[in-house]
Amino acid sequence: MAAMLPELYANQVEKTYPNGTLALESVKLGIQPGEFVSLLGPSGCGKSTLLKLFAGLEQPSAGHIRRAEGRKLAMVFQEATLMPWARVTDNARLPLDLAKLDRAEADERVARALKLVGLEKFGAAYPRELSGGMQMRVSIARALATNPDLLLMDEPFGALDEFTRNKLDTDLRNLWAERGLTVLFVTHSIYEAVYLSSRVIVMAARPGRVIADVAIDGPDLRDDAFRVSPAFMRHCAELSSLLTQANTEHERNAA
């Protein structure tokens, strides 16, 4: 049987900005269809840069980025980036309107996406009438309405309170399990990475590079019980140790 080709693949990728900053060095990474993979690391380690390279928003300075052909991609950013003058349904339908999709089909997709994120009763609301967590749900619904195979997410819950963040993490993880999406998720939270992921890619800074690829043991459908399980605690300790070691080595080399 032929090996399954990665959904996303980075081969010896480097990214240097015009000011000379080496953001990424020799990154090699493959992500298989249906995986939930988190990029974990401190600020400045190149997590968001790597995500933008996979999305095609930036180009590598060296090496190669490859996405599987014929697979649709959607991206969710750190901010909800909603149009304040538009209702929830209009915000979620925006990419379909830009693609000139038939209005009836677009409305059907939006209704389905809003139901998936638990906002089916808020279609007529304006962003100002929603909490921060609900606004991020609209942003996710907007991405889901495009029927993506691959979802790239750049710290979408980073500005939310812990309770809301935990709830959205559970909803996202269960949505991934139900829809069979491939997800690449950026976070600086060890707990969030372990809870969400089937694999965690640990990155270190200056220059940004991959230092570990950790498989996470856990059920497909997760809840609060997983957050206090021995497997969860073990993985959190492992990732914390890896990040501490990388930071210690960086400080030693900089001295």
2 in a structural domain:
no
* Residue at which a domain ends, from 125, 147, 169: 147
Are the C-beta atoms of residues 69 and 8 closer than 8 Å to each other? no
Residues 60 and 186 grouped into a single domain = yes
Only one residue has tokens 């809003």, namely: 114
* Residue at which a domain ends, from 129, 147, 165: 147
Report pLDDT for 249.
Answer: 66
Residues 228 and 122 grouped into a single domain = no
Pairwise CA distance, residues 7 & 14, whole Å:
20
Report pLDDT for 198.
Answer: 96
205 in a structural domain:
yes
Report pLDDT for 3.
Answer: 57
Which residues fall within 8 angstroms of residue 175, CB to CB, at 6 or more apart?
116, 117, 144, 181
Count the domains in the chain.
2
208 in a structural domain:
yes
What's the predicted TM-score (pTM) here?
A: 0.91
Residues 244 and 128 grouped into a single domain = no
Residues 57 and 92 grouped into a single domain = no
Q: What is the pLDDT along the chain (255 residues), one digit of tens a residue?
A: 445 779 999 999 999 999 998 999 999 999 999 999 999 998 889 999 999 999 999 999 999 999 988 889 999 999 999 999 999 999 999 999 999 999 999 999 999 999 989 999 999 999 999 999 999 999 999 999 999 999 999 999 988 888 889 999 999 998 898 888 999 999 999 999 999 999 999 999 888 999 999 999 988 888 899 999 999 999 999 999 999 987 766 665 555
Parent domain of 53 = 8-71+149-254
Q: If we measure between CA atoms, which residue out of 174, 176, 181, 200 comes closest to residue 73?
A: 181
Report pLDDT for 48.
Answer: 94
22 in a structural domain:
yes
Residues 107 and 32 grouped into a single domain = no
Query: Could you tell me the sign of the dihedral formed by the alpha carbons of 147, 148, 149, 152, in that order?
Result: negative
Residues 168 and 235 grouped into a single domain = yes
* Residue at which a domain ends, from 147, 180, 201: 147
Report pLDDT for 99.
Answer: 93
Residues 38 and 125 grouped into a single domain = no
77 in a structural domain:
no
Pairwise CA distance, residues 60 & 79, whole Å:
24
125 in a structural domain:
yes
Residues 166 and 239 grouped into a single domain = yes
Residues 171 and 247 grouped into a single domain = yes
Residues 24 and 98 grouped into a single domain = no
